[in-house]
Structure 1
Amino acid sequence: MDRLPWAGIHWKVILGLGTVWILDGLEVTLIGSLAARLVEPGSGLPITEGQIGLAASIYILGACLGALFFGRLTDRWGRKKLFMLTLVVYCIATFATAFSVEPWMFFLCRFVTGAGIGGEYAAINSAVDELIPANYRGRVDILINGTYWLGATFGSFYSLFFLNTAWFSEGLGWRFALGVGALLGVVIIFVRRHVPESPRWLSIHGREDEADEIVEDIEDQVEEEKDEPLERVGRDEQITIHQRASIPFTEIARTAFGKYPKRALLCLALFIGQAFLYNGITFNLGTLYQNYYGIDSGSAPLLLALFAIVNFLGALTLGPLFDRVGRKKMIAGTYIGSALVTVPLYFVFLGEVGGLWGFVVLLSLTFFIATAGASAAYLTVSEIFPMETRALAIAFFYAIGTGVGGIIGPLMFGTFIESGDRALVGMGFLIAAGVMAVGGIAEIFLGVDAEGQSLEDIAAPITAADPDAGHGSDMDQNSGTDRKPDTDRESGTTKGG
């Protein structure tokens, strides 16, 4: 799989699986766009600005717990089953949100919607990295994660239609907007049916015949498309694994956090930094524009759409550099760079320098830089741990990192905005910048140069005959014994599928 040239099958993976981020961007921005309308009398939902921030935190809590629950199932049951199941959960919960008439109903539906999205993260990121060639993995991951902002752009523009009181009443427009989001998820279910299961997952779980069939089918498609034979795989590119139908959670945890403690610390720093900055600010951006710049609920989505477009352009522009320049330089640069730009943003906001557009320009620059770094957090954790732990590792670090940054951030900003104190909100920007900078510093000292390498070279599978192959552990790159666990059967497998 890693040796394949770019082909149509890889576009199919992007179109089928990248949609999770479109849905998440749609969800988060839609609520941000609708927030100003929801808090108005006549919305049919008696909710305050502070409760909007609370709802955002509840959504994140659901995503964290959903990631852990579905992440474990993804490693155990397979990538495809779970990225179908979690999408169904999302669709049902989003549709139910449209019928909320009390804050507690809204909170509950947001929790379940978040659980579906959190489960998607684990299943999707692990599947993408296992299906995309090594030389393209960085830019594809950044691009797919960046499509969050395509969903955000769509959510901002189409919410304008539903917020127009000439067509929809104040109590119905936001409900129709949520219903359309659920219907979009239903369409995506049918697109995903054509994305294959990960051959890596099948091979390690004792289903080598199915894995071989999928790989052969992909190779046939690529050869037909390119009209030339593929290069043969050399013996030095093969590893021996001991296949097992399931792997105990204790062994997964011992490998991920006992063998790779520095990588674990790195992932926590990256996830906390990006979650605090992104969730804290974006979840409350609609009410911030309304309370401090006098932007009404019908116009706020236009500014949110501009914000989203800038973010997507950041991922699109900077993404290829993660493969060309390297992971460590780009991740550290985007984290620290976005933190530095947030400092002048604080003074512009506090002093009202340049008015609305002065604030918008600096905010856009901050997130143009930050968006690729935030996406790289998911790329990092999906690359640097063994295959058997990949989905659960994504879920764990997402849950812990986002639980800390993604819950505290929205609550803090929501409370600051509701206070009416501009200095407090400005202080929130500085706090977010500091947390983001810590992630960049951690990357400098703990980052892994994973660009262009097979996933099995970055971290050998637990079930490999030589589990200390590749980069070894954080403890001792050259130490370790040839631990051979109980097996179902032994198999020779090509690196990269």
Structure 2
Amino acid sequence: MTTAQAETGRTVTTNIPARLDRLPWSRWHWTIVIGLGTVWILDGLEVTVVGNIASRLSEPGSGLPISSGQITGIAAALYVAGACVGALFWGRLTDRWGRKRLFMITLAVYLAATALTAVSFSPWWFFVFRFLTGFGIGGEYAAINSAIDELIPAYYRGRVDLIINGSFWLGAVGGSLLSIFALNTNIFPADVGWRLTFALGAVLALVILLVRRHVPESPRWLLIHGREREAEEIVASIEETVEAQKGEALAVPEGEITIHQRRSVSFAEIARTLFADYRKRSVLGFSLFIGQAFLYNAITFGFGAILTKFFDVPSGNTGYYFAVIAVGNFCGPLLLGKLFDTVGRRVMISGTYLLSGLLLFGTAWLFDRGSLNAVTMTACWCAVLFFASAGASSAYLTVSEVFPMETRAMSIAFFYALGTAAGGISGPLLFADLTNTGKVADTVLAFEIGAALMCAAGLVAAVLAVRAERRSLEDIARPLTAVGAKARVAAGAKGSRPAAA
């Protein structure tokens, strides 16, 4: 049944969500992780490469008349601005057209824009296609996080989501090492090496695009949009595959939900859901995104400049240091991810934000005293970002699971866009201005701002974080199309479990 043929306005009772949530982990789930999650590696590659090549691009002979400040400031801010606009634009379409169609389109946009960045011949061209690259990535955040949460069983959802979002740092490791190789003028001319890094990103995106064709549409989305026959076929196929891979019969699913199918949800309903029915969760989402966005976008785009300006690290060697902190970043979600499903969301989200903020305050103090060198500074960042990375990944997990199914992609896009616009656009611009002065006190101030925002978000999470661990998405936030949903949400505003903040 195609989208055009989908029947809406009918009421159906189904156990499809329960069937997906009771599945044991299998090779099929790994195909979902690989097909959807690997785009974060590309994002990490993109951001890190730009940060590491900034000093080289600004040197004579690079083929692009651009300054380091323009790269770490203007280009970085435009990339993030593109991601914010793309998240809102594609997020709305993801809820209307489906997860699969959009995660194919957005990756194609990213691929084309990255390839065109590689042939930049002037600053304006570089800026335009950095914006469009971000535009594609922003759509990926909404489409991919929606699809992952709706396909991964509730028992594993937290750790899988964190590790997938944390895989950004595998790309950062690759970007750091790639920049070392590409910026070596003994291997490539100064005006060629940096172009190859962007070209490689486009090639990797093409490979992922081919793999992603085999990822199915979300059965939960199909069900709500009047395509329950297609949803049933997909779930039955998944069950058959998992049974064959595990060699045993699946457990009997428990629980049904009754859905009144509809084609779309209006902006007014989305606004009411976010700002009336789930306003405490909205405050939580904003707080988490603003804190991590400022910290990460400022550090990611500015770390190379700090190393070269304050510690005299050659521009061609900054990739080694960034590779080290990138490994620390990935280890955070990898090693702490399971605790978000066992110890719980509230303790782990608040704990990782507060610990990273306090450690960053300590780093700022040591830097101000002149007690750090390039190696110890990198070690301090590793400690900060081990916890910050898990916390930042949990921000995406939080906004993707605590709002109703019909608004999921738009909710992710909304909080990502506004939180990142506040911290991710202002962060690189402010951080570039502060570090470019060459004054230790200015850079210390940037550190302290990031630390304060992380600590503030941690305190908000300690009060408002939702205990979503191992719970079905439909239990955490009742779908708007579920029969009796409005009554449940109203009751939740008075403290009942399904809509409690």
- TM-score band (shorter)? over 0.9
Instruction: Give, in whole Å, the separation in 2 of the partners of 1:362 and 1:457.
Output: 40
Instruction: Give, in whole Å, the separation in 2 of the partners of 1:125 and 1:473.
Output: 28
Q: Give the match for residue 117 of structure 1.
A: 137
Deviation for aligned residue 1:310: 0.9
1:132-167, Cα deviation, whole Å (9 max, x unpaired): 000100000000001000011111111221111011
Instruction: Give, in whole Å, the separation in 2 of the partners of 1:257 and 1:69.
Output: 20
Instruction: Give, in whole Å, the separation in 2 of the partners of 1:301 and 1:473.
Output: 53
* Pairing 1:280–2:298 present: yes
Q: Give the match for residue 492 of structure 1.
A: none
Q: Give the match for residue 165 of structure 2.
A: 145
**Secondary structure in structure 2 of the residue aligned to 1:100:** coil
* Pairing 1:21–2:40 present: yes
* 1:170-249 matched pairs, under 5 angstroms: 170-234=190-254, 237-249=255-267
Q: Give the match for residue 44 of structure 1.
A: 63
1:94-141, Cα deviation, whole Å (9 max, x unpaired): 111112122211111110000100000000000000000001000000
**Secondary structure in structure 1 of the residue aligned to 2:356:** helix
Q: Give the match for residue 486 of structure 1.
A: none
Instruction: Give, in whole Å, the separation in 1 of the partners of 2:274 and 2:418.
Output: 15
**Secondary structure in structure 1 of the residue aligned to 2:156:** helix
Counting aligned pairs with the same residue, the percent is 55
Instruction: Give, in whole Å, the separation in 1 of the partners of 2:486 and 2:250.
Output: 30
Deviation for aligned residue 1:202: 0.3
Task: Give the partner amino acid of 2:449.
Answer: I
* 1:309-320 matched pairs, under 5 angstroms: 309-320=327-338
Instruction: Give, in whole Å, the separation in 1 of the partners of 2:67 and 2:369.
Output: 27
1:18-47, Cα deviation, whole Å (9 max, x unpaired): 012101101100101111111111111122
Q: Which blocks of at least 5 consecutive residues in structure 2 are unaligned?
A: 1-19
Asked if the contact 1:263–1:474 (Cα under 8 Å) also holds between the matched residues in 2, the reply is: no
Q: Give the match for residue 57 of structure 1.
A: 77
Q: Give the match for residue 103 of structure 1.
A: 123
Instruction: Give, in whole Å, the separation in 2 of the partners of 1:389 and 1:62.
Output: 22
Task: Give the partner amino acid of 2:42.
Answer: L
Q: Give the match for residue 53 of structure 2.
A: 34
* Pairing 1:409–2:427 present: yes
* Pairing 1:12–2:31 present: yes
Asked if the contact 2:291–2:453 (Cα under 8 Å) also holds between the matched residues in 1, the reply is: yes
* 1:207-356 matched pairs, under 5 angstroms: 207-234=227-254, 237-356=255-374
Instruction: Give, in whole Å, the separation in 1 of the partners of 2:189 and 2:387.
Output: 39
Deviation for aligned residue 1:478: 4.8
**Secondary structure in structure 2 of the residue aligned to 1:240:** strand
Deviation for aligned residue 1:473: 6.4
**Secondary structure in structure 1 of the residue aligned to 2:316:** coil
Q: Which blocks of at least 5 consecutive residues in structure 1 are unaligned?
A: 481-497
Asked if the contact 2:39–2:208 (Cα under 8 Å) also holds between the matched residues in 1, the reply is: no
* Pairing 1:160–2:180 present: yes
Task: Give the partner amino acid of 1:127.
Answer: A
Asked if the contact 2:158–2:397 (Cα under 8 Å) also holds between the matched residues in 1, the reply is: yes
Structure 1 residues 479 and 431, CA gap change in structure 2 (3 angstroms): closer
Task: Give the partner amino acid of 1:381.
Answer: V
Which deviates more from structure 2 when the two are superposed, residues 40-49 or residues 161-170? Answer: 40-49
Q: How many residues align?
A: 478
Q: Give the match for residue 408 of structure 2.
A: 390
Deviation for aligned residue 1:312: 0.6
**Secondary structure in structure 2 of the residue aligned to 1:428:** helix
Asked if the contact 2:324–2:378 (Cα under 8 Å) also holds between the matched residues in 1, the reply is: no
Q: Give the match for residue 365 of structure 1.
A: 383
Asked if the contact 1:49–1:418 (Cα under 8 Å) also holds between the matched residues in 2, the reply is: no
Asked if the contact 1:457–1:470 (Cα under 8 Å) also holds between the matched residues in 2, the reply is: no
Deviation for aligned residue 1:327: 0.2
Asked if the contact 2:166–2:329 (Cα under 8 Å) also holds between the matched residues in 1, the reply is: yes
1:240-264, Cα deviation, whole Å (9 max, x unpaired): 1101122222222222322100000
Instruction: Give, in whole Å, the separation in 2 of the partners of 1:24 and 1:448.
Output: 28
Q: Give the match for residue 101 of structure 2.
A: 81
Asked if the contact 1:457–1:471 (Cα under 8 Å) also holds between the matched residues in 2, the reply is: no
Structure 1 residues 382 and 473, CA gap change in structure 2 (3 angstroms): farther
* Pairing 1:93–2:113 present: yes
Structure 1 residues 316 and 479, CA gap change in structure 2 (3 angstroms): closer
Instruction: Give, in whole Å, the separation in 1 of the partners of 2:34 and 2:360.
Output: 33
Q: Give the match for residue 452 of structure 2.
A: 434
CA RMSD, 1 decimal: 1.4
**Secondary structure in structure 2 of the residue aligned to 1:135:** coil
1:201-245, Cα deviation, whole Å (9 max, x unpaired): 0000000000000000011111111222112224xx111110112
**Secondary structure in structure 1 of the residue aligned to 2:191:** coil
Which deviates more from structure 2 when the two are superposed, residues 319-328 or residues 99-108? Answer: 99-108
Structure 1 residues 473 and 374, CA gap change in structure 2 (3 angstroms): farther
Task: Give the partner amino acid of 1:378.
Answer: Y
Instruction: Give, in whole Å, the separation in 2 of the partners of 1:470 and 1:54.
Output: 47
Which deviates more from structure 2 when the two are superposed, residues 247-256 or residues 84-93? Answer: 247-256
Task: Give the partner amino acid of 1:183.
Answer: V
Deviation for aligned residue 1:384: 0.3
Task: Give the partner amino acid of 2:25.
Answer: W
1:68-103, Cα deviation, whole Å (9 max, x unpaired): 000000000000000000000001001111121222
* Pairing 1:376–2:394 present: yes
Instruction: Give, in whole Å, the separation in 2 of the partners of 1:4 and 1:455.
Output: 15
Asked if the contact 1:460–1:469 (Cα under 8 Å) also holds between the matched residues in 2, the reply is: no
Which deviates more from structure 2 when the two are superposed, residues 337-346 or residues 42-51? Answer: 42-51
Task: Tell me the TM-score normalized by structure 2.
Answer: 0.93
**Secondary structure in structure 2 of the residue aligned to 1:196:** coil
Instruction: Give, in whole Å, the separation in 1 of the partners of 2:452 and 2:365.
Output: 15
1:161-192, Cα deviation, whole Å (9 max, x unpaired): 11110111111110111111111101110110
**Secondary structure in structure 1 of the residue aligned to 2:226:** coil
Structure 1 residues 191 and 51, CA gap change in structure 2 (3 angstroms): same
Q: Residue 150 of structure 2 is aligned with which of 122, 130, 153?
A: 130
Deviation for aligned residue 1:354: 3.8
Structure 1 residues 472 and 36, CA gap change in structure 2 (3 angstroms): farther
Task: Give the partner amino acid of 2:331.
Answer: L
Asked if the contact 1:459–1:469 (Cα under 8 Å) also holds between the matched residues in 2, the reply is: no
Task: Tell me the TM-score normalized by structure 1.
Answer: 0.94
